[in-house]
Chain A
C-alpha cells in the first residue's frame, strides 16, 4: 500500500505548493534544523504547553512533539474542504435538533432508532428542550484524512469538547518566531483570529435573558486535566474567566461565579467538562468537578452551555457510519466530504467479513476515542487479533471496522533526517447564531514512528503547523 505524499505526489515529483519549501529544505543545513527544533522545544517547555497522559505514572506533564516542517495546503484544496466542513457541521446540528425534537430522521428510517435511544450519550434531559438559538454543537473538530490528490475523508466527528486548537495557534506562533524567512516567501493564511471568532460565536448564543454584554466563562475540570493548558490558553485569549466547578454556584436557577466582589451572574459557559461530570444532581452524583444545579439553570433558559448537553449522540462511530445519509437528509445535498468506508459490526454480514479479515482492518470501539481501544490489524500481534475476535463475537454492536487507509504523508524532520510520515488534519468549525466560521487549516497531527498510522498524542504522535497558501 503506497501512501500519497503531499510534497512529491507519490512519484518522486514535486507538487507546486511545496516548491519553495523543497528548495529551502535542500539548502538548510541539518544542524540548523536540529537547532531550530531544540529552540522550538525550549519555547514550548518554557511557556508550559504540556499535556498529561492518563495512566502514565512517570510524568504528569509531557510535551507533544512538534515537527518544524509545515504541512502545506493550497487555497483550492482548502476551499473545497471548508465547504464540506460547513455542510457537515450544519447537518450535525440539524441532526441533534431532530433527535431531541421531532425525530423526523428516525421516522424516515435514515438511522436505526436504537442507535439513538440506546446510545449512552443520548440525554433524556434534552428531549423537547429548546436550546438557545437552536445550536447544539458550537465548537466542532472534524478529523480529516487524505488518501490522494483529490480525496479527503472524514475519519471522525468530534462534537463534544474537541481539543487541540491551542496547538494550532502556538504552532503558528513558534513557526513565526523561528522561521520568519519562510513566511516572507509564502503567503500563509493567518489563524490568530480564532479566539475572536470563538468569542463572537459564544456571545451570539447568549440566552435572551442576558444583557447585550453577556458574561462568558470557560469551565475546566482543573489543572490535572490533560488539556488544562489549552483551557487556560483559550480563557486568556478570549479574555474570560477560567472557572472550575467550585467557582460556580446556582441559586434560583441562575448561575453565578464566586468573585472577590461577591456572586456575579454568568450567561454563557464554554464548558470543557464532559456531560457525565457537569452536574452531580443530574448525572454522576460522585462528580466533584461539576456544578450542582447547572442543568436546572440551563433548562430554565438562564444560561447557555457550549457545547450543548447530549451532543455525543451525533459523533460516536456507529452514528458516524450513517453520516452520508444524515447529511443528505437534512441538507438535501450530496455530501461534499466522504466517509471512510465503514463496516458496521452490528450487521451480521458485515461482522462476518470483519471477523474473516481482521488482519487487514482497523477495528474501533463505537464509544472509544483518542486512539484507545483500537485494533490496527496490519500492525497487530496474533494475540491482539484474537482478543478482538472474542470481543467482536461477544458484542458486535460495540464495534465498527474500516479498511486500513493509506493516510497521506508529509516531509517530517526525524532522527534520520527528513522523511515522510503519515498525517491527519483536525479543522475547527464554529457555529453561532450568525452562521458558521472556520479558520483556514487546523491542527495537523503526525505519526512520528516510521510506518505508523496512529497520530494521537497519547500514542506518540506529534503536531505540525498547517499552512493554507493564500495565493
Chain B
C-alpha cells in the first residue's frame, strides 16, 4: 500500500485514541476535585491534568491559571492546542478524508459523524453535567471507531498499521498517567497511604477502566506497587505497557511476514517486549518508577520514528 495511506491510517487511530485519553483525564480530574476539601486536596489537580496531557508549555502561554474552566477549554476545544480533543478529531478526520478509500464506510461514518456532531457541542458554554455528557460522547466515538475498525476492516496491512497506531499511542498514554500521578499529584506533606492517596490511586485506575480488573487480579486493597504491576507488566490488562507491546510486536510481525522482510521496527518492538517480560515490578520500583517511565516513553517514541522510517515515508 501507499506509504502515505499507511501513515494516515496509523495517525487516524493515534488521534482517536488520544482524544479518548484526554476525555479520561478530564473525567478523572473532575472526580478528583469533587473530593471534599476536608480531605485536604492540594488544589493541583488541574495543573496535573495539563501535565498528564503533556502540554504544559502551550497551556502556560495561552492561559494563566490552571483552573477547571481553563483546563477543560484547553484540552477539549482550544483550536490552538494541537492536542485538544477538537483538534484530535479534526486531524483524525482530515487524515481519514485523505485516504477515504482505505477506511471502511463504518469507520468513516464514525469519524465524519463525530466531526459534524462536535460542532454542536463546542458552540455553547457547558455546565458540569453537560460537560460530563460530552466526555462520555468522546469515549463513545472512540469505541465506535475502534469497534468498526475491529469488525469491518480487512485483515491486511491497512488494519495492522491502524492497530499499531492505537497501541503506540495507548502505551504512551498509560506511561504518562503513571508518571504524572506518581509525582505531581501527591502533595509532599501528604502521607503515603493516607485517604487522599488512596482516592487518587483509585481514580487513576478508573481513568484507565481498570478498577474492577485490579480487584479481580489482586484481590486486595489498592497499593501503588500492584497498580504499577497491573499497568506496566500485566499482559492481561489491555492498557498495560506489556499488553500494548505484545500487540505492537504481533502486528509488526504480521506486516513483516506479509512483506517478507523484517527490519529494525520488528527488532526494537521485540526487545522492549522481552525487557518488560523479564523485569519484575520490584526491579522497576527499585530503579525508580519515574526513571523507568521516562526511558519507556523515549523508547516508545523511538519505535514510532523507526516505524515511520521503515514504512511510512
Contact A236 B100 (CB under 8 A): yes
Q: Quick one: CB contact mask for A220-253 with B, threshold 8 Å, 1 for yes?
A: 0011000010001001100001111011000000
Shortest CB-to-CB span from A233 to chain B, Å, is 8
Asked if A257 meets B2 with Cβ closer than 8 Å, knowing A232-B101, A235-B101, A242-B101, the reply is yes
CB neighbours (8 Å) of A260 from chain B are 1-3, 6, 157, 161, 255, 259, 311-312
Asked if A223 meets B94 with Cβ closer than 8 Å, knowing A236-B100, A236-B101, the reply is yes
A469-B112 Cα distance, complex, nearest whole Å: 37
Q: Does A259 contact B (CB under 8 A)?
A: yes
Contact A247 B100 (CB under 8 A): no
Contact of A258 among B2, B100, B105 (CB under 8 A): B2
Q: Does B251 contact A (CB under 8 A)?
A: no
Q: Does A23 contact B (CB under 8 A)?
A: no
Contact of B105 among A47, A243, A246, A259 (CB under 8 A): A47
CB neighbours (8 Å) of A48 from chain B are 97, 100, 108, 112
CB neighbours (8 Å) of B161 from chain A are 260
Q: Does A382 contact B (CB under 8 A)?
A: no
Overall SS of chain B's interface: helix
CB neighbours (8 Å) of A235 from chain B are 101
Chain B positions 94-114 with a Cβ under 8 Å from a chain A Cβ: 94, 97-101, 105, 108-109, 112-113
Asked if A258 meets B4 with Cβ closer than 8 Å, knowing A46-B112, A46-B113, A48-B108, the reply is yes
Contact A247 B4 (CB under 8 A): yes
Q: Which of B4, B5, B113, B261 is most buried by chain A, counting CB atoms within 10 A of its CB? A: B4
Q: Does A416 contact B (CB under 8 A)?
A: no
Shortest CB-to-CB span from B309 to chain A, Å, is 12
A232-B259 Cα distance, complex, nearest whole Å: 26
Q: Does B313 contact A (CB under 8 A)?
A: yes
Contact B100 A232 (CB under 8 A): yes
- By beta carbon, the residue of chain A nearest B261 is A261
Contact B112 A259 (CB under 8 A): no
Shortest CB-to-CB span from A41 to chain B, Å, is 13
A-B contact pairs, 21 of them (CB 8 A): A46-B113, A48-B97, A223-B94, A223-B97, A232-B100, A236-B101, A241-B5, A242-B99, A243-B4, A244-B4, A247-B2, A247-B3, A247-B4, A257-B2, A258-B2, A258-B4, A259-B2, A259-B3, A260-B1, A260-B3, A260-B312
Q: Beyond the given A47-B108, A260-B157, could you list 19 further A-B residue pairs with CB under 8 A, ordered by the A residue number?
A: A45-B116, A46-B113, A47-B105, A48-B97, A48-B100, A48-B112, A232-B101, A235-B101, A236-B100, A241-B2, A243-B2, A243-B4, A247-B3, A258-B2, A258-B313, A259-B1, A259-B2, A260-B3, A260-B259
The chain B residues found within 8 Å of chain A, CB to CB, are 1-6, 94, 97-101, 105, 108-109, 112-113, 116, 157, 161, 255, 259, 261, 311-313
The chain A residues found within 8 Å of chain B, CB to CB, are 45-48, 222-223, 228, 232, 235-236, 241-244, 246-247, 257-261
